[in-house]
Structure 1
Amino acid sequence: MKMNNKKMKGMTLALLMMVAALAGCIGGDDEADTEVEEITGMDASDGGYTYASNVDNHRSLMKDLCDIKAAASSDGGYNFALAKEIYVNGSNAQKSDGSFRTLFGFASADALGADGKNHGYDSYYGISGSVDAHIMAAMDGTGDFVNASNTVRYQGIAKLTVNMGMVAYTIHELNTAMDKANAGNVDNDSGAPHNWDEGWAFFHGPDEDWSCSPAYVMKKRAADFGTTTNDVSNALTATETAMVDGLAALQAGDSDGYTAAVDTVVKNLVITYSQAVLKYTSKMDSNDSAEKYQAEGYAFWKAIEALVADHTDACYNNQTHGMAWIGAGEASDCDGFSWVESPSTGEMVCYNMGAGHYVYAAATNETICNGFASVFPGSGMPGYYADYGAMGMNGVLNLDDPSQLGTSYDVSAWLTGAWAHFGITAGDIGTYS
């Protein structure tokens, strides 16, 4: 089932890329460019992070995000053509040869762009340039955004570029930094620290433009969910600390240190975008803004779907007609539920060791606990559903399905397996208010 889902996603995105190619949109940014140049007015730090190398040109891309958002907004007259022009051809990150570093160059499938990007999104969606395919659909009103209103397209453009785009490439740079460090290249200007710096440039960017960054999303969602300390986002503090410590670990060749730093960054990205999805799916019962909130939820979900989907598998119980969320499981896990005595409490529980020591709390007796199976005898119906939570999320956030609007959703159950995988607690997520 998982393979078929990914094939379908790949076919859809392949069609989007064909449309973009026919429209003459496929080009790329020369990532092999090794020239560096200082940008007037930029200092050596953003937020609490001090760069080890010159990434001024990369930092300048954050201004493109601000300009794209402004052009696509209602105040900008929903000028999607201008937003696309900035996205494809660039506006602020000019190189010494007169060309521009572009967001499109990072996200597209061109050989000089996103092929081989080290972020896992293309593997999940089954196509090179998957990030660009999503963004271009919003820009052009195709794919998931066909027949979408200006409001919905604006949300897609503004939030997919900032979140799916820049989160994917933050992850790419951090993974590339680890690869270089593992190979022994820790030179500040050409090795692992330089890629690590680029990761912070894409995640936070210049202080004057950080309101257009994923880092600022961390700030806003933490305020929504009460996950702050002294009014500062816990997720942002943890991420910034991990980036500072990770840079030092790279320079010292401390593999345990920089690996832990990457894990911390990814964990806090999942926290933030889980909060965003929880917020906007819960607001889809709005009488006048449901489609706007759905589009926001969609864009924030795309920032982490590739990271969490594999951890949303479920087993169906034919007694409660509910699902047991088993994380990244397999069909045989659904045969592994047993009615046993808990060694810690002495109570009888429905326990599954193979599915990550999972306890199905809804089973109050052995009959219910026996209601699981990988395939149910007699009917032959499957009891195991790969990526079931992700499929449910994509259903609720289907921009072409108006029947999803008008309902407030609590999608937290669909994410519990992913939270367990990344070590995320209820306290990390907080409560929306």
Structure 2
Amino acid sequence: MAALSLLLLAGAIGGAGAALCNPTDSCPKLSDGLYCPVNDVTEHGDINRDVKLIKDHLGATPPAYAAAKEVYEEGNHSSKGAGNMRTLKALALKDMTVSGKYTNTFYSGAVDMYGSTEAVWHNIMMDCFDGAGNCSGKSDKFRKYVLNKGAIGIVTAYVTYEMGAAVWKAADGSTSDAGAPYAWDEAAAFYVGNIAPVIGDGVTGGAPGNLYSPYEFNWKRDADFPDGTVTHTAALTVLNYGLVHLRGSAYNDTKVLEAQQSMHKIFAIAAIRSAIKYSWKTYNDGSFKDYYLAEAWAYWRSASGYIGQTSAANKERVKEVDMLLDLSLTNMSATTPCTVKTTVEAMYQDLGITCAMVGQWKDAQGCLADACSDNGVAVPALGELGASTPYVDMCKPSDAGVAARHGPTSALA
């Protein structure tokens, strides 16, 4: 689409420390080419380039775990300014409520479920970098799947942190574009990323395979569940809805909270779809695949804590799925994917989603092809709750004719 011609134009000349773009109405867009930030958040989106770099190191023969760990701990692409790098480790260890100042049920639900901030992602990442703990004696493929998918889970969680920051800042009266909208734009940048897609327009058709972002993860699950909600496109309009209602006199706290909740639901749908798909692929007709277990576990964990906090019953159901996808498993019965499916479906009512939103896996067979029933529960579709177009008009071409700050990154093999 024509909008992609604006992708990755240089915005704020001052770099990562500056919020507003220069010119102010010529902000660089993200990988999708639709959502228009009102700030230059290029450096924030660059964290997904670190996700890609970790995958590259792990794809070496043999896997370069030490180099991948260095990227996790020290960062590489995402600058905070003044020589300081944004790191995936810092994101994983972040108190996403800032000692209770921000409300972030996505984060607090995960901490409540798993015991501490470190236990949600950081500990398992270190285990798999070092071949210790949960990754002791595991195959390289298992370790790589935990690390690659875990990195996406870390970024997903940080999206919710920035949304929570935006909600708090707006309620505190900071609704200028350099205030709450800046935090919201940061959330969008972490979610979508800024890598130019190697194929397609960044929205339609198949996922390009080179974005390495939560957005692309959601997109891939959309392709797996084609009759369900197309979450990656819904997310763009939801993010725009939140931005519109954070700016100045248009601020509306109810609508911003609707957008935040819709994004949380989008993340939950992707996690649920992954649990269904990858539990079956782990079983593999009786030929257990440990790396698919790692994939099922990591993608499920990307939103399981949030799902668990929606009700006491759902918390127990999440614990049940956690046991069914435990990383210590060395085999899986044919009934496990069936149990995963029925257990997650029982969560829908309290979570506020429906069978139609999740859809059916395109390769479903046996019990996974059984009809889902949500007992007639009616909830608003994601396209009806917290979503809007047209997009903010702050991404006009710059008269300065500046060159793109970043080029495309090669697609996944």
Relative to the length of structure 1, the TM-score reads 0.68
Q: Secondary structure at the match of 1:212?
A: coil
Q: Look up the SS of the partner of 1:206 in the other structure.
A: coil
Alignment of 1:142-181 (within 5 A): 142-162=132-152, 164-181=153-170
CA distance in 1, matches of 2:81, 2:157: 26
Q: Distance in 1 between matches of 2:309 and 2:18?
A: 39
1:409 alignment partner in structure 2: 337
Quick one: structure 1 residues 38 and 93, their matched pair in 2 at CA, closer, same or farther if it must change by over 3 Å?
farther
Which residue of the partner structure matches residue 36 of structure 1?
Answer: 18
Conserved? CA contact 1:222–1:235, under 8 Å: yes
Asked if 2 retains the 8 angstrom alpha-carbon contact of 1:93 and 1:102, the reply is: yes
Report the alpha carbon displacement of residue 201 of structure 1 after superposing the two structures with TM. 1.1
Query: How big is each residue's C-alpha offset from its partner over 1:71-98, in whole Å with a ceiling of 9 and x where there is no partner?
Result: 112x453111111100101111234422
Match of 2:79? Answer: 94
Write out aligned runs for 1:6-405 (5 A): 35-36=17-18, 44-46=28-30, 47=32, 48-73=34-59, 75=60, 77-108=62-93, 118=104, 119-120=107-108, 121-129=110-118, 130-162=120-152, 164-189=153-178, 191-208=179-196, 211-227=211-227, 234-251=230-247, 252-286=250-284, 290-311=289-310, 328-329=312-313, 387-404=315-332
Distance in 2 (CA, whole Å) between partners of 1:62 and 1:416 is: 31
Look up the equivalent residue of 1:277 and give its one-letter code: A
- 82-91 vs 410-419, greater mean Cα deviation: 410-419
Change (3 A) 1:148 1:405: farther
Aligned-residue offset at 1:69: 1.1
Gaps of 5+ in 1: 1-32, 312-326, 330-385
- Measure, in 2, the Cα distance between the counterparts of 1:96 and 1:165: 22
The CA deviation string for residues 187-236 of structure 1, in whole angstroms up to 9 with x for no partner, is: 212x21111011111111104276201111111111111136xxxx7111
Letter in 1 for 2:66: A
Q: CA 1:38–1:174 in structure 2 vs 1: closer, same or farther (change >3 Å)? A: closer
Tell me how far apart the structure 2 counterparts of residues 113 and 136 of structure 1 sit (CA, whole Å): 23
What percentage of residue pairs aligned between the two structures are identical?
Answer: 25
Query: Is the 1:276–1:300 Cα contact (8 Å) retained in structure 2?
Result: yes
DSSP 3-state at the match of 1:259: helix
More strand by share: 1
2:222 and 2:80 map into 1 onto residues whose CA distance is 36
Q: CA deviation at 1:412?
A: 1.9
- Give the TM-score, by structure 2 length: 0.71
Bigger mean CA offset, 142-151 vs 266-275: 142-151
Structure 1 position 53, deviation (Å) = 1.4
Instruction: Name the larger-Rg structure.
Output: 1
Unaligned runs of 5+ in 2: 1-14, 198-209, 364-413
Distance 1:309 1:138 in 2: 25
Structure 1, residues 320-347: CA drift from partner, whole Å, max 9, x if none? xxxxxxx534xxxxxxxxxxxxxxxxxx
The offset of 1:422, in angstroms, is 2.9
Measured on the aligned residues, the alpha-carbon RMSD in Å equals 2.9
